[in-house]
Each structure stands twice: as C-alpha cells, then as structure tokens.
Structure 1
C-alpha cells in the first residue's frame, strides 16, 4: 500500500478552535442569552484592516482611563482628525478594544448621536472589558436616553448573579448621575445590588462604599479635552 497522503485541509475541529480563539481575543469570553437579543448591534460591513488598527486603536485602547496632562494634550491634538468614519469603524468592529476606543472618541467629540449604538452594545454585552468605558461615556453625555440604557442594564444584569460583567461600573455611573442630577434612580437597585455583590466585593452590604470619585475624574478629563480644544480653536 502506498503512503497515506496527509490531509492539509483544516478540520471542522480546527475551524471551531480558531473561531473560539478569535472570539476570546475579541472579548467574547462568555456566551449568554438575554432579553436584549432582538436589539441589533451596529456592525461594520467590511472588517477593518491592520493599518486602521495601528493608527486608531492600538495607540489608545489601553490608555482610555488616563487623566494626566500629557494624555489630555495628546487627545486635544488628535481630536480634529477623529472623524465619524473613525468612530463608526471602531464601534462596528466586534472587539472590546475597538468598541471601547470608539465610545471614547464619541465622547471627546461630544457626539450624542452615538448613544444608541453604545447603549445597545452595553445591553447586549457581547464583549467583556468595554463596559467601563460605555458607562463613563453614557454618564458623561448625561442624556435621558443614555441614562435609560444604564438603568435597563441594572434591571436585568443585577438579577444575573451567574454573570459577573459590568454591574459595578454601571451601578457607579447611575450613582454619579444621581449626585449631579439631584435624582434617586439608584434607590430601586440597592437591594438587588446587595444581593448580587455578596461575596464579590468588600463592603458589599453598603452601597455608600461605591465611590464615584474616579468616575468623576474620568468625566472631568473628557470635559477638559473638549474645553481645551474649543479654546484653541477660538484663539
């Protein structure tokens, strides 16, 4: 008998493994069903290329929560180049790095028209790690529709004790908004928060321990970027 020729075609198992690795890298580490399945996520028709990632994603995604002067000045200089196309491409890519960056760019450009895309991404929670940025951006916009996305998130995900996603970041955002708006939206979530957070956080029985100082610094940084850019433009 002749030597068996090795089949170099990828097997179905290889395909599934490669897809799993790709999803994991994108941040889709937990697959889950939710009542938000009917919401349609914004997705790019064409996958972004490496040159776009190198220019508009890689230099920023790991820095989005900085608040130092060097970062502020860097984004102020970049701001005129951040186009709607750049924001759309980032938000439409299935990856936590791009989606986080796109949401941040929408905020520093003060573009509320992206609230629906960001809010839908938040509710569907298709990728991890992006929720903190979504929460910050929606809290910065402080728009009625955006605030509703935050509340809808807590309504559902605080009852999903099996899903440890961005409940803490969203709870913090709603608490921050209550402070600046003089509202009490958080009250109806406190009991669910205490139940959800048992064993997950220190001082989980006291929602007063959920500080908003860091979030305020992050939002102040966005405002500083916008105000500095406006001042430079007016000179």
Structure 2
C-alpha cells in the first residue's frame, strides 16, 4: 500500500492533534519513543498520560488508519494509542505492518500493542516476526522489542515460545553477537528486554485503571 499523507484522504488534522501535540517540551511521538513517561519524577507525566488515555479512548478507527498509512512518527503514535486503548480489531493491521518492517522505530510500538493485547494470537505474530528477522544479522529492526514482548506473553500465557530463540547459541545470541558492541550490553539480555516491556505494559495498565 502506498504511503499517504493524511490530508490526502481528508484527515490532515490528525498529525497535529495526535502525533506532534505537546504535553511537554517535546512532541508526543518523541516522548513515546524515548520512554520518558516511565521515568520516575517526570514533570509532565500526569498531563501526558491523561491526554494519551483520552485520545486512545476517543480516536476513531478511520483516524487510526490515516495515521497507520503514513510515516514512522504517525505509525508509532497510532500503535501506542491502539495498545493503550486495547483496540484488538487492529491486530491484523499491526501484524502486517510489523512483518513488513517498512520504517525504523515504529515497530517497537507494534510490539507494545501486541503485548498489551496479550493473547496466543499476538504471541504467534511476535514469534513469526522473530523467525523472519532474527536470522538476518545484518538487519537491526525491532528484534529486541519483539523478544521482550514475547517473553512477557510467555510468562502471562504459560507458554515457552521464546525458548526457541533464547537457547544458548541460538538465534538471539547469534543476532547480538553479530555486532561487537552489543555483546556485553546488559540492555540486550532477554531478562532486561522483558523487564522493559513489562514496565511499558504495567504502566499502561495503571493509566487505564486510573
């Protein structure tokens, strides 16, 4: 599907309303990408989370589609809104975008949405992504986010899909070892990847409850 600016289909306002709106000193997509909302003591946390919850509840499916049909910033924002809002009707759309990996950065948000949905179907999508992209040690897409999400779902569903990737000398080790500077980086251990995904999802659970 060709990329379209939302204004081409009558939704030009969605970029300013949802993607570049400022709840802090940065546009929303940058706050989402950086993960600063999870940092204790962030000055703008209350306003940021309140607006995000509100938008996740009120954005229409057509507006989400307009964002998903454009570039990485809009796709990242849309996927977060889908995940926070639990819009499981977008599961297949998220699957298609994740497996296509057309842009950097946005894939981590797709993984967040799938982790939030929390079903066996979502785990299968993440496993399919890792089956496709972990053997590609020359490509650095969203493998860490996908593995963290799959590990979270394994823990919640009582499954072991991630074992195939994390066994010693397996696909995850091969992917990490392909770049020397990642080998000793604790951020790329399976335990840390799951901790980060847990932090995102548990925080989003708290937003939803409040």
User: Partner residue of 1:135?
Assistant: 111
Query: Which of the pair is proportionally richer in helix?
Result: 2
Contact 1:135 1:150 in 2 (8 A): yes
Tell me the distance in 2 between the aligned counterparts of 1:77 and 1:121. 25
SS in 1 for 2:64: helix
User: Which stretch shifts more, 203-212 or 187-196?
Assistant: 203-212
Structure 1 unaligned spans of 5+: 1-40, 229-235
Residue 58 (structure 1) shift:
1.1
What is the Cα deviation at residue 207 of structure 1? 4.5
Match of 2:199 in 1: 217
2:128 corresponds in structure 1 to: 152
Aligned counterparts, 1:1-235, within 5 A:
47-49=5-7, 50-59=12-21, 60-64=28-32, 65=35, 66-67=37-38, 68-93=45-70, 95-190=71-166, 191-198=170-177, 199-203=180-184, 207-228=189-210
Question: What is the root-mean-square deviation in Å for CA atoms of aligned residues?
Answer: 2.3
- How far 1:53 sits from its partner (Å)? 1.4
Question: Helix, strand or coil for the counterpart of 2:136?
Answer: coil
Unaligned runs of 5+ in 2: 22-27, 39-44
| Alignment correspondent of 2:25 | none
Q: How many angstroms apart in 1 are the aligned matches of 2:30 and 2:140?
A: 21
Q: CA deviation at 1:143?
A: 2.1
Query: Counterpart in 2 of 1:20?
Result: none
Count of residue pairs the alignment pairs up: 185
Displacement of 1:138 in angstroms is: 0.6
Higher CA-based Rg: 1
- 1:70 is displaced (CA, Å) by 3.1
Report the Cα offset of residue 214 of structure 1.
2.1
